[in-house]
Amino acid sequence: MTQRLHLVFGGELVTPTKSVFRDVSKIHVVGIFPDYASAYDAWKAEAQRTVDDAHMRYFIAHIHRLRDEELSAGPTEELGS
- For residue 29, CA distances in Å to 21, 33, 50, 70, 79 come to 13, 12, 14, 29, 24
CB atoms within 10 A of CB 67: 14
Q: Which pTM does this prediction carry?
A: 0.77
The predicted structure's pLDDT at residue 3: 76
The predicted structure's pLDDT at residue 72: 59
Q: Tell me how long the chain is.
A: 81
Contacts of 34 (CB under 8 A, 6+ apart): 3, 4, 5, 6
Give the pLDDT confidence of 54-68 residue by residue, as tens digits.
999 999 999 878 766
Give the pLDDT confidence of 16-68 residue by residue, as tens digits.
999 999 999 999 999 999 999 999 999 999 999 999 999 999 999 998 787 66
What superfamily in CATH does domain 6-66 come from? Uncharacterised protein PF13773, DUF4170 (3.30.70.2400)
